[in-house]
Amino acid sequence: MVRIATIEDIERVNKLRKQVNDLHVNGRPDHFKAGWNEELQNHAKECIEADNKDILVAERNGVICGFACVDYIDVPESPYRFAKHFYHVGEFGVDKAFHRQGVATELVEFMKKHAKEKGFSQIELDVWEFNPEAIAFYEAVGFQCIRRYMEMKL
């Protein structure tokens, strides 16, 4: 079952968010700060309380085992591009104990339905190159690469 998170879900959501944060810290310690500070933890509450964001949670037998932090984005037209209205996935994760059980796919299916209900015609996210499992999953459920960010260390 997938649903919109409530304030009561924050403690469990933050445990899952910490797993994702740790993955990023391990994958790019030069980019992501180690630790799990109060500001990072408070982000979940901000998402739940905001009008232009939500947290989705997936449950198995009453246990929250996956989550997605989503934003509803409106970018105005500029001289360079057309206006853009899209559903953005800022954070996404499934508890390691629940990997390969369809939780992530259920979250994506819910997001597709939820995005359509809110009038969006596309979902966007970004993923780090150090996470080939996530890249493979996103491609398997229908995401396509539309842009690359590249860097050159000096």
Per-residue pLDDT of the chain (154 residues; tens, 9 = 90+): 999 999 999 999 999 999 999 999 999 999 999 989 899 999 999 999 999 999 999 999 999 999 999 999 999 999 999 999 999 999 999 999 999 999 999 999 999 999 999 999 999 999 999 999 999 999 999 999 999 889 999 9
User: 70: how many CB neighbours lie within 10 A of its CB?
Assistant: 27
- The Cα 91–Cα 110 span in angstroms is 15
β-bridge partners, 2: 58
Q: Is 3.40.50.720 the CATH number for 2-140?
A: no
- The Cα 107–Cα 123 span in angstroms is 13
